């Protein structure tokens, strides 16, 4: 998702937050044993603040260790994992020169040569999203401009929507936060060699609303029919539709690149949603959805939604989702209720997926809250890092079998030395 926060953060957000949250006292959590330990130089390049945005994890050079592609206002940065040495910034060696600013990096093998390719989403309307094909030696070739979207892309997902074995690209279009822009979400079909062309009927579909900003897109098979479906998170801080907040959208894939809306599939929530993840909470074989919402448009307790897929153990229709209020068992501190996106991993290796919300720390002091999975409900875990978390990824960075965490910072309402620095947290749960 795209983050237009930094330049404008401050009074507007604070006013909105206070208006919603005045009666709520800061929740006090019991002291919890740390699951993560922060590492700095020499594990991370001691670089000037990167103000990193979206992050993608993947083994870029094929040496078995997970690397990171980080979008920044100055293009993209590659942090290559050099084991005990830590990460080395090899952007100059492995990326083409003169990349323009990007908001999101996505990694996937689009041409089937087993080397990761990258998509960088442009950070300004009128600029093209870029495709960089892996060059077969751990670097990336010259950028290829993808077809221009209707407005700025907030997120993208690789997903084989037409079931022909190659990764197609779905883009959510729009931005939110202090400015609001919208446009038609788009689908680019892959020709198998990494050549992408737009499916115009996707943009003309009746559910594709040009007015409501889409903040993120998730590819999942919600109804277990074998064809990928799409869940779009949407927000409307600008109240283009007359009210702040917007209904999220589930469209079901037919398997040939067309999608039909599933209007009764989602609860009637109209939050300012920023991003979502799919995970099988209770292990019954269908995918549930966890959504991050922003306090700008919703009350604190609505800052996260847990949507349960009613198939499987629930005995209902697969692909119909019901809200589970209280599943997060929290009254969030105002300082962690502007939620920018969820990340999922089984951080304590108990077989249940845990969820960390990336937040905008406003007022200062808010950390990224971690929720420990326990079936359909969660319990609070120890939070990490005070910052505006623009992006992040769980991955086994040090190769010891448990998920570690790398998050980018778009700054911090608290200011200070951590502002803009990439943050590395190693899992110390064992």
Provide the greatest CA pair distance for the chain. Answer: 57
Give yes or no for a contact between 404 and 424, defined as CB atoms under 8 angstroms apart: yes
Supply the minimum distance, in Å, between the C-beta of residue 141 and Ca ion.
Answer: 10
3 state SS of 115: coil
Supply the minimum distance, in Å, between the C-beta of residue 161 and Ca ion.
Answer: 6
What is the dihedral angle through the alpha carbons of 418, 419, 424, 427, rounded to the nearest 10 degrees? 70
Supply the minimum distance, in Å, between the C-beta of residue 26 and Ca ion.
Answer: 35
Supply the minimum distance, in Å, between the C-beta of residue 21 and Ca ion.
Answer: 33
- Binding residues for Ca ion, rule: CB under 5 A, are 109, 111, 113, 115, 117, 134, 160, 162, 164, 166, 168, 221, 223, 225, 227, 229, 284, 286, 309, 312, 314
Give yes or no for a contact between 87 and 45, defined as CB atoms under 8 angstroms apart: yes
Nearer to Ca ion, 2 or 227 (CB): 227
Strand order in the sheet with 404-409: 36-39, 423-427, 404-409, 389-395
In angstroms and rounded to an integer, the radius of gyration of the C-alpha atoms of the chain is: 20
Nearer to Ca ion, 3 or 230 (CB): 230
Nearer to Ca ion, 156 or 227 (CB): 227
Tokens at 207, concatenated: 């559910």
CA–CA distance, 119 with 109 (Å, rounded to integer) = 10
What is the DSSP code string of 21-65?
A: HTTPPPPPPPP---SEEEE-TTSS--PSP-----EEEE-SSSSSS
Supply the minimum distance, in Å, between the C-beta of residue 226 and Ca ion.
Answer: 7
Nearer to Ca ion, 203 or 225 (CB): 225
Supply the minimum distance, in Å, between the C-beta of residue 115 and Ca ion.
Answer: 4
Supply the minimum distance, in Å, between the C-beta of residue 117 and Ca ion.
Answer: 4
Nearer to Ca ion, 150 or 306 (CB): 306
Give yes or no for a contact between 86 and 398, defined as CB atoms under 8 angstroms apart: no
Q: Phi/psi zone of residue 331: left (φ > 0), alpha (ψ -120 to 50 degrees), beta? A: beta
Nearer to Ca ion, 147 or 179 (CB): 147
Residue at shortest CB range from Ca ion: 312
Nearer to Ca ion, 314 or 429 (CB): 314
Supply the minimum distance, in Å, between the C-beta of residue 286 and Ca ion.
Answer: 4
Sequence length of the chain is 430
Kindly give the residue spans of alpha helices, DSSP state H, lying in 52-174: 91-94
Supply the minimum distance, in Å, between the C-beta of residue 394 and Ca ion.
Answer: 23
What is the DSSP code string of 186-233?
A: EEEEE-SSS-EEE-HHHHHSTT--SSSPEEEEEEE-TT-SSS-EEEEE
Nearer to Ca ion, 132 or 362 (CB): 132
Q: Strands 87-89 and 75-81, how do they pair? A: antiparallel
Nearer to Ca ion, 281 or 393 (CB): 281
């Amino acid at each position: 998702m795209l983050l237009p926060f930094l330049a404008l953060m401050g009074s507007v957000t604070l006013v909105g937050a206070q208006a919603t949250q005045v009666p709520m006292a800061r929740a006090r959590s019991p002291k919890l044993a740390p699951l993560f330990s922060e590492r700095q130089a020499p594990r991370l390049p001691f670089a000037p603040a990167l103000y990193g945005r979206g992050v993608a994890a993947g083994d870029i050079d094929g040496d078995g260790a997970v690397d990171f592609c980080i979008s920044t206002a100055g293009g993209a940065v590659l942090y290559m994992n050099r084991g005990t040495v830590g990460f080395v910034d090899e952007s100059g060696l492995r990326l083409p020169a003169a990349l323009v600013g990007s908001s999101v990096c996505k990694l996937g093998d689009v041409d089937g040569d087993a080397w990761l390719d990258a998509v960088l989403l442009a950070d300004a309307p009128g600029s093209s999203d870029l495709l960089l094909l892996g060059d077969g030696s751990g670097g990336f070739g010259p950028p290829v401009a993808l077809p221009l979207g209707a407005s700025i892309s907030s997120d993208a997902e690789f997903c084989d929507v037409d079931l022909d074995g190659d990764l197609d690209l779905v883009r959510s279009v729009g931005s939110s936060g202090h400015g609001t822009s919208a446009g038609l979400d788009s689908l680019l079909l892959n020709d198998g060699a990494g050549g992408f062309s737009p499916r115009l009927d996707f943009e003309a579909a009746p559910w594709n609303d040009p007015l409501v900003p889409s903040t993120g897109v998730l590819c999942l098979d919600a109804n277990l029919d074998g064809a990928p479906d799409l869940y779009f998170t949407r927000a409307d801080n600008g109240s283009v539709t007359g009210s702040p907040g917007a209904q999220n959208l589930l469209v079901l894939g037919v398997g040939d690149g067309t999608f039909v809306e599933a209007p009764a599939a989602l609860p009637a929530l109209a939050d300012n949603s920023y991003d979502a993840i799919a995970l099988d909470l209770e292990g019954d074989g269908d995918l549930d959805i966890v959504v991050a919402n922003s306090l700008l448009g919703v009350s604190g307790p609505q800052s996260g939604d847990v949507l349960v897929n009613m198939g499987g153990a629930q005995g209902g229709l697969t692909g119909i989702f019901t809200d589970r209020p209280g599943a997060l068992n929290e009254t969030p501190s105002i300082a962690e209720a502007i939620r920018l996106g969820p990340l999922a991993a089984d951080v304590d290796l108990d077989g249940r997926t845990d969820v960390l919300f990336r937040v905008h720390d406003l007022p200062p002091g808010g950390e990224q809250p971690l929720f420990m999975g326990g079936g359909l409900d969660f319990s609070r875990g120890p939070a990490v890092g005070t910052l505006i978390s623009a992006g992040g990824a769980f991955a086994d960075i040090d190769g010891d079998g448990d998920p570690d965490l790398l998050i980018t910072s778009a700054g911090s309402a608290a200011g200070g030395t951590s502002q803009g620095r990439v943050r590395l947290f190693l899992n110390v749960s064992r």
